[in-house]
Structure 1
Amino acid sequence: MCPDRESTRDPSEHGRCSNQLSRPSQNPTQVGTALQVFHNLGTLKNTITSVVDGYCASIEESINTALDIKVLTQPSQSAVRGGPGRSTMPTPGNTAAFRASLWTNMEKLVDHICTVCGQVQHLQKILAKKRDPVSHICFIDEIVKDGQSEILYTFWNSITQALYSQFQVATNSSMFLKQAFEGEYPKLLRLYNDLWKRLQQYSQNIQGKFNASGTTDLYVDLQHMEDDTQDIFIPKKPDYDPEKALKDSIQPYEAAYLSKSLSRLFDPINLVFPPGGRNPPSSDELEGIIKTIASELNVAAVDANLTLAVSKNVAKTIQLYGVKSEQLLSTQGDASQVIGPLTEGQRRNVAVVNSLFRLHQSVTKVVSSQCSFPPAAEQTIISALKTIHVLMGNAVQPLLTSVGDAIEAIIITMHQEDFSGSLPSSGRPDVPCSLYMKELQGFIARVMSDYFKHFECLDFVFDNTEAIAQRAIELFIRNASLIRPLGEGGKMRLAADFAQMEMAVGPFCRRVSDLGKSYRMLRSFRPLLFQTSEHVASSPALGDTIPFSIIIQFLFTRAPAELKSPFQRAEWSHARFSQWLDDHPSEKDRLLLIRGALEAYVQSVRSREGKEFAPVYPIMVQLLQKAMSALQ
């Protein structure tokens, strides 16, 4: 039964009830009884306001005490030396004692805030459940009306504003405090994160305390508090994030910290790339840069948002390293020469690429070693590392282009050799390797030994040289299909060249079979050299492994001179035709060029009133029709 309204007007009882609301150790029964007294007296709202204001004042006093520069710089007894008048004031921004006192005070402040927030939450929870047994009005409705914020929201907003304003006042008046909070912002942020976690944990545990407190002498509304699913400190609202409001109170220090963090990251890079320097950083210098990156990420790990912000700084650091490295690259003509040994410019380019590679590998290792690294932060750094990989590619591209051009120039010399000979009458001939193939093998072996072996990034090198190997095979098959005339002895020598081609490109590959379609085309084309035209036309490799245009082009070699190859009809050199094919990678364009050559042949036969076409002509037409229909 509730207390009689008249009997509760005793001033002494009013005082006892006020004390019950302010004591953190009170259980729901005691607090609920006190609230009923103030409700009966008609002073519930004023009393709750007074109690909450007292809590706010208590926290504000704790903030002022924690940030009191006079207290923080007060010398210990043991530090007092000398006679009267001698200053014993330490320089707080530079002493361990000052910082130790500051962070001890901050920990005490956080403890106090946590305790007081728990008391306010305890109070609001009971107000939200307690109803007057006569009017059945919920106590919270007597306090929060007209769409006002709940008690806890109002209280929390007051606390976060007090933190913000008093921190600003204190740090604006003391450079020592400002330097401490800006320099050790992650430490301050960790304290705030710990505070928020403790408040969340308290919210999850508070229900058990309510249930264990015993409610048999309270009203039914308090006996069912376990139905309350509000197990977090303050839920977010559309226009208010309580955790963000807390961290916003120290946000001004973040920008300064991030600026200093960026300087710490940039300084070692600017140091190892002096103006006018010509060499990339040494291994020890690079290790120092990596240690700085790892240190900044480790310190920022206290908070996901801070980690993301520092990761952006790391990304800028990686980009700066790339810009500085790019300035060292040699772009003179001797940087792409493939005639003699490594030039000075080429050696420097190799050193730069190796330096970029080590940076890429080291930063990747640092990122992978981070615990619970935010995906957005990881992606930020990975994106920056991609620019390093692109720069590595740009650095070696001139050399790769020269190597590719040299290979093409060697392959095209096959047309200077004679493949028209027939088989000798005396047994199987000893088929030697063609001269152009010997030159090609020697050149590839030499460029791998003289140039590419100096790069430490083997996978990167193979990714690029394998592309050259694929291109070399395609050029070889392209030119082999153009050889006219091609005798039986020439077929044997060309077949030997096909086998030697695998050996030639071997140094460029991890395994020749890794070259994919180019390798399969090399293997599939060789047997066609000795097959009849009908068998060639029915080969299962057509279309999928070997393009129709290559096969039809090859069949021109079996036709009479009157049936001219497309490049012969256009009066192009082999090199000019090869360039045209590069400029027209579309199979349709190539087939249309072939069709023009076949149509010209038909016109020539009709103009001389020929009676029949070459035996290979209908096979070529059939293949052309099949190829064109496949493109539909």
Structure 2
Amino acid sequence: MDSKDICIEIENDEFYSKFLVESVKPLVGENISVTEQVNKLTQGIEKLTKSLESQVLAKHNDLLTQASNISDLEAMLETVRSQVQVLLRGADKLKDRVHTPYHELETQTIMLERVQTTCNLLRHTSKILMLWNKLIAVKDNPTKEAMILFELNELISDYDFKGITLLDDVLIQVEQQQKKLLQSSTDLLQTSLLNGDKVKLLQCFKVFHNLQCTEEQIKCTVDSILKDLRKEINTALNVQMVSIEVKKSSSGRIAPGKANIMNAQDFKIKLWDNIDKLFKNEMYNSCIKVVMLQNVVNELHAIGNFRNIAKKFWDELSIIFSNELEKSPSTVSQSVEIDFPKLLKCFNDLLSRLKCKNLEMNRSCLTKWENSFLSKSLAKLLEPVRSMWHLNQVPTMDQVDNAIRVIAEALSISLADKNLSISLANSVAKSIKQMNVEAEQRLSMDSDVAQIIEAPTSSQQKNADLCNVLHYFTSQIKRVLANMNSMLPQESIQIVQNSLKDISSLPILNMFAESIKNSLYLILMTMHDEPDLIRAEDPTNKTLSCSPYMKELQQFVSRCKDIYLSLFHDKQALNECCINISKCCIERFMQHVCNVRPISTYGRAKLQADCKHLETSLSPLVNDITELGDHYRQLKALTLLLEKKPQDIAKSQHEGALLPYSLVMMYLFSYGGQQLLAPHACAGWNTHKLIQWLESHKNERDRLEFVAGALQRYQNHVRQNQITCYDEVYPILLQLLEDARKTLKK
């Protein structure tokens, strides 16, 4: 049987396969007995033995060849081993040749290093002794002494001189001398700061610089000053000590039943007296020391960069004050919140006295008290405004005066600090806005608020009273600002002034203005019904009376001014309203005058007289008619226009008249024959429709195109009917239209 077959047989046999795994378990539990198992194993071993014998017999030549190759390999390995032994012996010899000089060189290097160290020690010893002798000779010059001591310390720190008996005493005396010099300079520094002796202070810092301890000394000095100030601040804000002082000063003079009130008032007075003394004395003296320290250091440019000593000190001082105030009892904190401007004044006065440019107040440390003060100030400003409206009635002048007084007080207490003034100005602006909102909520918007037929209604009277209250309120605030103009920051004034811009009687007045203008328009519309405008008489040498519609207009304007507009006290808004009414009236009057059809020579003279009477009619509204500007000049131009011939009108228009071309051309149509229809007649409109169109088309280009359409229609009519000549005014109208279009292109 082939060896492969035997292996396969053993692998597939259930019994033999169990012996092929790595961990063979006992087969005692099998169904085959032990004897049978041993016999079967013996048979398997015999099969394997026979298979091996047959394989060895079949391949004995190959096995013999491999065995001889193994012998050759062993011989080669022996040769390599002998060569390796020779190589190792050579490496040992080379190692000896390298290590021996290396050890010798290392030994010599150590010896040289020791010699060099010894030389350096001797050299340093010599120099130390020389400097020591030099130090003894300059005992009266602290600056030079400090310089020599610094050099000695540098030399001493380079090596360990322990065991050199020659220097033992010197080293001890150098250390003692340095401590003594540093202590004496530190004491002199404190004395110089106390006495303000700048010369000695300079000497101290030269010593510190030479000893290389300037930064440390500055820090210690500043920390010591801050430590003392912390105690002083704590003492000034100590409520128990303040109470004891108050009791001592007020004992025996407080009436029964008023002890608490007087004690509270006395406590407040004593607390602020302590704070005031703290800033004027202790804090000022300490700051002066630091500022002097800063100035001295700045003069010694070579000692390093210490430009922010005073600034850092001030920032630390502000933080310390804030922390101590934070830890103080509620009674102290509340007093500071109520009278916060006093605290700011103390800070600002202190900075002003110090006259140090780098110092600025650190407001962030006082944010808590400032915010609380501003919150209470805003509540105080809003309270009188809200209280005066609680009954939904028009406030009295006394109530308004009370609100003004509170606003004036708020602005005045902030004069010492710009930032606080701006913050309070914003609070004042909020109270002004609240006043305006409260008034606007109570304005009546009933249907009769703009009627101008009957006597003023209760709603109209109430609206006028509300407007007058607001006007009085704003005028009084403006007076306060004017009185404080030189003291208040311009930013604060601007904030308050901006808040007043939203308050005006104009919105209510404009409601009356619209009603008045509408009535005026209706009166002016009756101009076209006047029989005198077509009267066939020569007006020369005749005195022309005022037209009936103009008399009605004059009476109406006078009545409106006396009965309705006189209710309002806001002269600026009233003047603006009256000017608006007057301008609209003139504009509408000119539109009607230029579109009266038909019109006679007498009618033109009558309209010319009405132009002059219109000035009189508007006088109740406008004291100086020239305030109407271009509208007044156009009215004057219309007066002159009414007495000119078409050719003269065209000439004056070409020379630069004030009246719009469209309006002049509409007027010139009145000189034409029946075939030259006016623009609105061409459109089939009545006068009312024309006026509506003019109001909705104020652009001159649109109006010119409207007039041009009428001229084009007339031209077509002439051509269609083969009329031999145009109307006399037609060429003039064409020339004006061309001139108008050229003007618009410029």
Distance 2:608 2:178 in 1: 116
- State the partner residue of 1:316: 430
Contact 1:338 1:402 in 2 (8 A): yes
For residues 498 and 78 of structure 1, what CA distance do their matches in structure 2 show? Answer: 85
- AA in 2 matched with 1:16: S
**Aligned counterpart for 1:585 among listed residues 691, 694, 698:** 698
1:125 deviation in Å?
A: 2.7
Which of 67, 76, 80 is the aligned partner of 2:247? 76
Equivalent residues in 2 for 1:267-346 (5 A)? 267-275=383-391, 277-278=392-393, 280-346=394-460
Is the 1:93–1:177 Cα contact (8 Å) retained in structure 2? no
Aligned residue in 2 for 1:163? 321
Deviations 1:116-141 (A, max 9, x none): 1221222233234347xxxxxx3346
Q: Distance in 1 between matches of 2:543 and 2:180?
A: 123
**CA displacement at 1:442 relative to structure 2:** 1.1
Aligned pair partner of 1:120 in 277, 282, 290: 290
Q: Determine if the alignment matches structure 1 residue 434 to structure 2 residue 547.
A: yes
1: distance between equivalents of 2:204 and 2:473?
Answer: 67
Contact kept? 2:661, 2:740, Cα under 8 Å: yes
* CA offset digits 1:45-101 (Å, max 9, x no partner): 4333322221111111112111112112225236568xxxxxx9x869971221122
How many angstroms does 1:18 deviate by?
A: 1.8
Matches within 5 A, 1:496-575: 496-539=609-652, 544-575=657-688
Q: Helix, strand or coil: the match of 1:508?
A: coil
The residue type paired with residue 98 of structure 1 is: F
Larger relative contact order, structure 1 or 2 (CA cutoff 8 Å, min sep 6): 1
The CA deviation string for residues 229-251 of structure 1, in whole angstroms up to 9 with x for no partner, is xxx3x2xxxxxxx4142x32222
Deviation, 1:12, is 5.4
Contact 1:419 1:491 in 2 (8 A): no
Which of 259, 266, 271 lines up with 2:382 in the alignment? 266
Cα offset, 1:296, TM superposition: 0.7
Residue of structure 2 equivalent to 1:27: 197
8 Å CA contact 1:448–1:508 kept in 2: the answer is yes
1:497-531 alpha-carbon deviations (Å, 9 max, x no partner): 12211111111101122222111111121232232
**d(CA) in 2 for partners of 1:565 and 1:121?**
90
CA distances 1:174-218 after superposition (whole Å, capped 9, x unpaired): 221121011000001100111111121xx4xxxxxxxxxxxxxxx
Distance in 2 between residues matched to 1:266 and 1:394, nearest whole Å: 25
Cα displacement (A) at 1:540: 5.2
Q: CA deviation at 1:253?
A: 0.8
Q: Deviations over 1:387-414 (max 9, x none)?
A: 002xx11122211110011001110111
* AA in 2 matched with 1:466: I
Residues 162 and 610 of structure 1: is their aligned pair in 2 closer, same or farther, counting only changes over 3 Å?
same
What is the CA–CA distance in structure 2 between the aligned matches of 1:386 and 1:477, rounded to whole Å?
35
Secondary structure of 1:335 counterpart: coil
Residues of 1 paired with 2:702 and 2:469: CA distance?
45
Residue in 2 that maps onto 1:194: 349
Structure 1: runs of 5+ lacking an equivalent: 82-87, 132-137, 204-231, 235-241
Give the total of aligned pairs. Answer: 568
> 151, 160, 176: which one pairs with 2:309?
151
Kept after mapping to 1: 8 A contact 2:539/2:605: no
Amino acid in structure 1 at the alignment position of 2:290: V
Measured after TM superposition, the shift of residue 256 of structure 1 is 0.9
Query: Kindly tell me: are residues 112 and 555 of structure 1, through their superposed partners in 2, closer, same or farther at Cα, counting changes over 3 Å?
Result: same
Q: Relative to 1, partners in 2 of residues 1:383 and 1:48: Cα closer, same or farther, differing over 3 Å?
A: closer
1:347 maps to a residue whose letter is: Q
Mapped contact 1:72–1:102 kept (Cα < 8 A):
yes
Q: Corresponding residue for 2:340?
A: 185
Aligned 1:121-520 pairs, distance under 5 A: 121-130=291-300, 138-140=302-304, 150-170=308-328, 174-200=329-355, 203=356, 232=357, 234=358, 242-245=359-362, 247-275=363-391, 277-278=392-393, 280-370=394-484, 371-389=486-504, 392-419=505-532, 421-424=534-537, 428-520=541-633
Distance 1:99 1:178 in 2: 11
Q: Given residue 489 of structure 1, which amino acid in structure 2 is its aligned partner?
A: Y
| Structure 2 letter corresponding to 1:116 | S
Contact 1:93 / 1:180 at 8 angstroms: preserved in 2?
no
- CA displacement at 1:108 relative to structure 2: 2.6
**Matched position secondary structure for 2:345:** helix
| Cα-to-partner distance string for 1:570-629 (whole Å, 9 max, x where unaligned) | 112212211211111111110011001100111111111211110100000000100110
| Aligned residues of 2:637 and 2:657 also touching (Cα < 8 A) | no
- In the superposition, the TM-score normalised over structure 2's length comes to 0.72
Q: Distance in 1 between matches of 2:655 and 2:240?
A: 89
> Which of the pair is proportionally richer in helix?
2
Structure 2 counterpart of 1:105: 274
Q: Which sections of structure 2, spanning at least 5 residues, go unmatched?
A: 1-140, 150-173
Question: Aligned to 1:539, what secondary structure does the other structure show?
Answer: helix
C-alpha distance in structure 2 between counterparts of 1:313 and 1:441, whole Å: 48
CA offset at residue 560 of structure 1?
1.3
Question: Letter of the aligned partner of 1:30 in structure 2?
Answer: K
Structure 1 116/366 Cα, relative in aligned 2: closer, same or farther at 3 Å?
same
Identity across matched positions, percent: 27
Shift of 1:543: 5.0
Largest Rg, 1 or 2: 2
8 A Cα contact 2:336 2:343, kept in partner: yes
Partner in structure 2 of residue 211 of structure 1: none
CA contact (8 A) 1:182 1:253 kept: yes
Once residues 3 and 163 of structure 1 are traced to their aligned partners in structure 2, the CA distance between those partners, rounded to angstroms, is: 41
- SS at the partner of 2:360? helix
Shift of the 126–421 alpha-carbon distance from structure 1 to 2, 3 Å rule, reads closer
By how many angstroms is 1:310 displaced?
Answer: 0.7
Deviations 1:157-180 (A, max 9, x none): 32222122222222xxx2211210
Contact between 2:538 and 2:602, CA under 8 Å: does it hold in 1?
no
Aligned with 2:413: secondary structure? helix
Please say which of residues 613-622 and 540-549 is displaced more in the overlay. Answer: 540-549
Question: Residue 373 of structure 2 aligns to which amino acid in structure 1?
Answer: Y
CA distance in 1 between counterparts of 2:268 and 2:620 reads 62
Whole-angstrom CA distance in 2 between matches of 1:299 and 1:79: 29
Amino acid at match of 2:550: M
Letter in 2 for 1:157: D
Distance 1:122 1:334, change over 3 A: same
SS at match of 1:610: coil
Asked whether the 8 Å contact 2:428–2:496 carries over to 1, the reply is yes
- SS of the aligned residue for 1:563 comes to coil
Shift of 1:257: 0.8
Write the letter of the residue equivalent to 1:95.
A
Report how far residue 430 of structure 1 moved. 4.9
Question: Whole-Å Cα distance in 1 between the matches of residues 196 and 180 of structure 2?
Answer: 19
